[in-house]
Structure 1
């Protein structure tokens, strides 16, 4: 015997109309009730194709997610938070990887809207392009780690605080000639980390040397090249704050293969706390980002925006980073 909406309503002790609204993504029920209904529907064997027949024509229960890089496990952990939360709420995720290519990103945005996704989570390849999307994206969307100033919902981390905390820790450990090996200058998050780094140096009356702030890309190869430039001279650098953990791995690669003693002669600090930062052979001191939570909150806010429709309001969540001390700093 097939399970009906009335069966679910009877099981939960709520009205038929509440169950219908929850399964059809209509307003009028709380997120908690919607989650209970979806969970009960799955438990009772109410098949997805039964749900689909009851959906409003303009809704597909699908979410588009656009991220620039899947090789960096930071994005993998964020995506895990998105997908698990989507599954809990009855949504399917279309995952798109741009490889930091703006043309590919724009094509994905066009394709996802043609497929009538209900909403989009976007980490743009180029943060400065985000302001243009307000007129180009016709479904609710949320920015992941971009600029929280473009009149759209946003989830991110306090990157400036992270840059400040990491630099202050290096100073506390006795490092004084600290360089910053960053990713792209087009990255808002990267530049916020630089601002925090500068604030900490100024607080300790250390002059800012722009020659010690260099940029490449968010890869180990980029980190290797930056370390080569920073360490192959007479600047007597004793610590490098990397723009992310992958860059830090490139810095460590160059430093260890060129005879630098870690952490006594050179301290290295990363940003993100990706899973292999804690491997025994690496043990990278880093700034932890709550990656799973970034994905989870992004999906939850997007669902709220979808349900609110034209009445939606902009929402933002800024999560706090924290220092994780390991073996690459003294």
Structure 2
């Protein structure tokens, strides 16, 4: 039979209110008495009844997190940082994956609302005006990462446009005449929210190259690379994700093309696995762990204190490797 607060109160000869204050670390209580109660709870094998606690407080201490998938290390690192920060704040996370499907995303939101999450963090593929209004009607804090949903939904990210403009200028300053720009999600601009990738493309477009750049939007970007004489000019391949850049590195190695003396490569995100790659990839640092922690911190304060969540722009950095 489960041990209750009453059992602990009887064993310690105190009131149930005193036990509740000790177990939940709130209110005034004698330190010695608190230590006695905690020790007795441990001895009896007390386990908190989170359902009852949720009903009493009107919240579940759960934050819903919806991302695209976990194939890209970017998202697994993001989830890991948010889970660690949530644990510090005594919150649990409810995770769902959309696989870039807009209808699936809405179903995930509806499911989490039914499970009474206290707040939502979204990497969204939806951005229509009615979607933003729909999210707001649930009257819980919502934060968007990776893709901005609307001006009415708080957004935490780097300045993607500035970051890619800086990356492109860095490549140009290295003496490359032409850039092959790889960004497969651009093919979905008319149907999906690709706000971050559109911002990056605008940043890229602001830098003039000596020769016309080549834009690759296909998911078969390696096949398209095969149709290009990449040695015609001094060329660098700039990718909007480290995942694409790693595939490009493999392709160039298979073709016996020397990196960076013949072709340069640059990525974006600075995912953890890059430390195992040779040559070390030049990339843009997207502070994933910091953004995840800030998102949890912001939404937990909104849940507990009603604080308004502010848009935040986190500083990026060019990580100099050996691939340019």
| Alignment of 1:323 onto 2:321 | no
Find the counterpart in structure 1 of residue 263 from structure 2: 266
Distance 2:246 2:262 in 1: 17
In structure 2, do the counterparts of structure 1 residues 80 and 129 end up closer, same or farther at CA, with 3 Å as the change threshold?
A: farther
The normalised TM-score by structure 2 is 0.79
Judged with a 3 Å threshold, the aligned counterparts in structure 2 of structure 1 residues 277 and 118 are, in CA distance, closer, same or farther, namely: same
Aligned-pair CA distance for 1:54: 3.7
For 2:12, the equivalent position in structure 1 comes to none
Q: Secondary structure at the match of 1:147?
A: coil
164-173 or 86-95, which deviates more: 164-173
Q: Which residue of 1 aligns with 2:290?
A: 293
Q: Does 1:313 align with 2:311?
A: no
Matched residue, 1:153: 154
Q: What stretches of structure 2 of length at least 5 have no aligned partner?
A: 1-6, 10-15, 30-37
Q: Find the partner of 2:8 among 2, 16, 37.
A: 2
Q: Give the whole-Å Cα distance in 1 for the aligned partners of 2:96 and 2:294.
A: 19
What is the CA-CA distance between 1:2 and the residue it aligns to? Answer: 3.2
Distance 1:51 1:100, change over 3 A: closer
Q: Classify 1:11/1:109 alpha carbon distance in 2 versus 1 (closer, same or farther; 3 Å).
A: closer
Query: Which of these two proteins has the greater Rg computed from alpha carbons?
Result: 2
In structure 1, the partner of 2:32 is: none
Which residue pairs with 1:135 in the alignment?
134
Q: Structure 1: give runs of 5+ residues left out of the alignment.
A: 18-40
User: Following superposition of structure 1 onto structure 2, how do residues 178-197 of structure 1 map, counting pairs within 5 Å?
Assistant: 178-185=179-186, 186=189, 187-197=194-204
Q: What SS does the aligned partner of 2:106 have? A: helix
The alpha-carbon distance between structure 1 residues 127 and 168, as it changes in their structure 2 partners (threshold 3 A), is: farther
Cα gap change, 1:15 to 1:164, in 2 (>3 Å): same
Q: Is residue 144 from structure 1 mapped to residue 151 from structure 2 by the alignment?
A: no
Secondary structure of the corresponding residue to residue 2 of structure 1: helix
The change in CA–CA distance for 1:306 and 1:12 in structure 2 (over 3 A counts) is: closer
Equivalences for residues 162-177 of structure 1 within 5 A: 162-177=163-178
Hey, what does 1:246 align to over in structure 2?
A: 243
Residue 79, structure 1, aligned to residue 70, structure 2: no
The equivalences for 1:6-25 within 5 A come to 6=18, 15-16=27-28
Once the two structures are superposed, the pairs formed by residues 23-34 of structure 1 within 5 Å of their partners are: none
Report the counterpart of residue 58 of structure 2 in structure 1. Answer: 58
In the alignment of these two chains, the number of paired residues is 293
CA distance in 2, matches of 1:307, 1:235: 60
Q: Cα RMSD (Å) of the superposition?
A: 3.1
**1:122 corresponding residue in structure 2:** 122
Once residues 57 and 269 of structure 1 are traced to their aligned partners in structure 2, the CA distance between those partners, rounded to angstroms, is 50
By how many angstroms is 1:85 displaced?
A: 0.9
Cα distance 1:223–1:288, how it changes in 2: closer, same or farther (>3 A)? farther
What per-residue deviation string (whole Å, max 9, x for no partner) do you get for residues 30-53 of structure 1? Answer: xxxxxxxxxxx89x8696625653
Cα offset for 1:207?
Answer: 6.1
- Which has the larger displacement, 274-283 or 90-99? 274-283
Match of 1:213 in 2: 215
In structure 2, C-alpha distance between the alignment counterparts of 1:234 and 1:130, rounded to whole Å = 45
Give the stretch that moved more between structures: 81-90 or 141-150.
141-150
Contact residue 231 and residue 263 of structure 2 kept, 8 A: no
Residue 252 of structure 2: aligned partner: 255
